[in-house]
Chains A and B, each alone.
Chain A
């Protein structure tokens, strides 16, 4: 229980983070009005969102200065999360490209057959 009183209740960092989150939200919305192409837009949008999430986790959720066990738990979760992202997406990219190829081959075959009929 001593751990809870150890958080000196200085709320200034919280308000600073609050301000930063608001500013970053405005930034990410403003950038979106530039209508960047998807690649850079996604990279930038994701980067800003990650910074915001990290701020919330580190300060609001007191992850800064948390016990090792929580860090371990988060590390395992993030590892499996990356697995869950990367492998299905890799596979889906391949199968999607195959679908496009098949469609192209199919169209060619139809075009070749059409005059014969």
Chain B
């Protein structure tokens, strides 16, 4: 397609590949999805008679460690993309593997936090703050799991498909999604833990 279009000087495309445009459109819808959750958070917080400060009810150090973990995984997936576009297979596999490990680490730490809450008898139904906290982090966690599935799939496919001309583009797409998951956490962390 790209060669066929290039033959015509008035080729009417957006200049972005289909896959990349598709991912960005998907991320736009995701922005609205998480935007709704933040609206909910703000509306409920501002309407509440009292709202706990994050550090009183949540484990700030663990949240901070998780922030480091997620930011680091964002860098490793970026390096995986760099390696993929340099056609360096083992380098790609190393950094993609690291990304997946870090994502699991994020989920494990989150799991410990959840476990501590449940042990204290704090459930989503306990208070409106808990409802917001569990739903927002839960939905974010769901996105992390989706990311793990996509990234593991790419790691698995790299065994055979690494030379495919579109492979680096797919890694770029997965990377864009993963950075977005990172950005969501960058807002979630202060909103829930620090304010």
Contact = CB atoms under 8 A, between A and B. Distances in A.
A85 B114 CA distance: 28
Smallest CB-CB A-B distances: 9 pairs: A32-B194, A45-B190, A96-B47, A69-B14, A92-B43, A77-B28, A81-B35, A53-B183, A67-B15
Nearest to A81: B35
Interface of B: 2, 14-16, 21, 24-25, 28, 31-32, 35-36, 38-39, 42-43, 46-47, 53-55, 60, 64, 67-68, 71-72, 74-75, 78-79, 82, 85-86, 165, 168-169, 172, 175-176, 179-180, 182-183, 186-187, 189-191, 193-195
Given A4-B168, A67-B14, A85-B42, A14 B35 contact: no
23 contacts: A5-B85, A11-B82, A14-B79, A18-B72, A22-B71, A25-B71, A25-B189, A32-B193, A35-B53, A35-B55, A38-B195, A45-B191, A49-B189, A57-B179, A60-B179, A61-B175, A67-B15, A67-B16, A80-B32, A85-B38, A89-B42, A93-B46, A95-B47
Contacts of A26: 64
A60 B189 CA distance: 20
Given A46-B190, A57-B183, A84-B35, 4 more contacts: A60-B74, A60-B75, A69-B16, A73-B25
Interface in A74-117: 74, 76-78, 80-81, 84-85, 88-89, 92-93, 95-96, 99
Contacts of B32: 77, 80-81, 84
Contacts of A77: 28, 31-32
B39 A14 contact: no
Most buried by A among B2, B172, B195: B195
A45 B82 CA distance: 32
Interface of A: 1, 4-5, 7, 9, 11, 14-15, 18, 21-22, 25-26, 28-29, 31-33, 35, 38, 41-42, 45-46, 48-49, 52-53, 56-57, 60-61, 67-70, 73-74, 76-78, 80-81, 84-85, 88-89, 92-93, 95-96, 99
Nearest to A43: B195
Contact of B86 (A9, A73, A99): A9
A15 B79 CA distance: 10
Contact of B28 (A33, A68, A73): A73
B83 to A, nearest CB: 9
Nearest to B176: A61
A1 B75 CA distance: 23
A9 B16 CA distance: 20
B42 A21 contact: no
Given A32-B194, A53-B187, A96-B47, A4 B21 contact: no
Nearest to B64: A29
Contacts of B55: 32-33, 35
